[in-house]
């Protein structure tokens, strides 16, 4: 996995994320409230996303329970919040 590969796979979605070094997630919505059985999460420092991407060891691809989130399209509505839940589909 690399960041660019994940962004390419998710190109038809609003959001993409890499997690645990090897997982790519895609979605069109963000769940900020922790509803639907999910636990509300907090934004973390970049140093907590410390798993190297297996396809490019110069990039970091999240970590365990840590997702690097990318906004793919400018029509995505972005809200500034201190806490966020991201619910995306694994690809």
Cα(54)–Cα(64) distance, rounded to whole angstroms?
Answer: 15
Cα(66)–Cα(75) distance, rounded to whole angstroms?
Answer: 25
Say if pTM beats, i.e. exceeds, 0.85.
Answer: no
Top-confidence residue, 37 or 18: 18
Cα(75)–Cα(41) distance, rounded to whole angstroms?
Answer: 24
Q: What is the pLDDT of residue 20?
A: 94
Hey, what are 1's tokens?
A: 């996995």
Q: Which of 29-33, 44-48, 81-85 has the lowest mean pLDDT?
A: 81-85
Three-class DSSP category at 48: helix
What is the number of structural domains in the chain?
Answer: 1
Domain with 40 in it: 3-90
């Amino acid at each position: 996995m690399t960041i660019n590969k994940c962004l390419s796979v998710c190109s038809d979605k609003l959001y993409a994320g890499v997690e645990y070094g090897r997982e790519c997630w895609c979605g069109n919505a963000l769940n900020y409230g922790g509803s639907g059985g999910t636990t509300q999460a907090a934004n973390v420092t970049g140093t907590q996303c410390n798993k190297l991407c297996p396809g490019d060891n110069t990039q970091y691809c999240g970590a365990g329970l840590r997702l690097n989130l990318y906004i793919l399209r400018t029509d995505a509505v972005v809200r500034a919040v201190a806490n966020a839940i991201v619910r995306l589909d694994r690809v």
